[in-house]
């Protein structure tokens, strides 16, 4: 089974990808993790990717597609692509690359969430600058407000998790993802899922979709 999970940051697709991969014995391919891994490998490709990341630039589509395709080729199980493709160009690249490997996508799950829910999830996040522990003021609060349980440092909110930044990212996401969603809808493999649901409830829904 080969799947793509689409959705804005904070829609819970990473968490579902993990649970789904464990249940169905699939490989979780998260582009963010994959790119960080490639950089660590110090290969020619790693150097190239590092240059873009160091400058704070997005890694170009062709490079990301190449790295993702390599990972798919290496892997004999099915997969869940999480955080990729991000735009129509990447989807078309991916399509060509998969057909040349004789692999097809079975389903694309589109995580639909309300902006308010995403803001609640992300803006409540606090991180420890010293030991990198992650908390959530509502879902996973530290024992003492604003203080890391593990090392006693003062917790911070990342700039990425501030409400204005989240709203801006959501706007960009919506613009880029509309053509992508249409592309997969036309292929008849797109299914919308409600990303506002609790993790376990949503997993049951997804299991139902994948088993049908
Ligand atoms: Zn800490």
pLDDT at 77: 87
Closest CA to 150 of 167, 164, 133: 133
CA 48 / ligand 1 centre spacing (Å): 33
Name the band, by pLDDT with cuts 50, 70 and 90, for residue 42: confident
Check if 125 is active-site.
Answer: yes
pLDDT at 58 over 90: no
pLDDT at 1 over 90: yes
Strand bridging mode 190-194 / 2-6:
unpaired
Question: What is the share, in percent, of the chain residues with pLDDT greater than 70?
Answer: 100
Active-site choice (48, 169, 185, 207)? 169
Name the band, by pLDDT with cuts 50, 70 and 90, for residue 56: confident
CA 46 / ligand 1 centre spacing (Å): 30
Check if 107 is active-site.
Answer: no
Check if 138 is active-site.
Answer: no
What is the C-alpha separation between 65 and 68, in angstroms, rounded? 5
Check if 158 is active-site.
Answer: yes
Active-site choice (86, 107, 121, 126)? 86
10 Å CB burial of residue 25 (0-12, 13-18, 19+) is exposed
| Average pLDDT for 160-169 | 89
Check if 169 is active-site.
Answer: yes
pLDDT at 178 over 90: yes
Contact 4, 58 (CB under 8 A): no
For the chain, list the domains and their CATH numbers.
2-127+174-211 (3.40.50.300)
This prediction's pTM:
0.84
């Amino acid at each position: 089974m080969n799947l793509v999970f689409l959705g804005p940051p904070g829609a819970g697709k990473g968490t579902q990808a993990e649970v789904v991969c464990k249940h169905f014995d699939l490989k979780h391919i998260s582009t963010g993790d994959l790119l960080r891994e490639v950089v660590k490998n110090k290969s020619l490709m790693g150097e190239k990717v590092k240059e873009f990341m160091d400058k704070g630039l997005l890694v170009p589509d062709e490079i990301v597609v190449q790295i993702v395709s390599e990972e798919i080729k290496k892997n004999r199980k099915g997969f869940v692509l999480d955080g990729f493709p991000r735009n129509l160009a990447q989807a078309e690249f991916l399509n060509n690359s998969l057909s040349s490997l004789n692999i097809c996508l079975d389903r694309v799950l589109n995580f639909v969430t309300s902006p308010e829910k995403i803001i609640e999830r992300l803006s409540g996040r606090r991180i420890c600058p010293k030991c990198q522990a992650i908390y959530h003021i509502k879902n996973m609060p530290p024992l003492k407000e604003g203080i890391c349980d593990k090392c006693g440092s003062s917790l911070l909110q990342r700039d990425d998790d501030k409400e204005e930044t989240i709203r801006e990212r959501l706007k960009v996401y919506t613009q880029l993802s509309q053509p992508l969603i249409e592309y997969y809808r036309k292929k008849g493999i797109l299914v919308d899922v409600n990303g506002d649901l609790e993790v376990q409830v949503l997993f049951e829904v997804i299991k139902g979709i994948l088993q049908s």
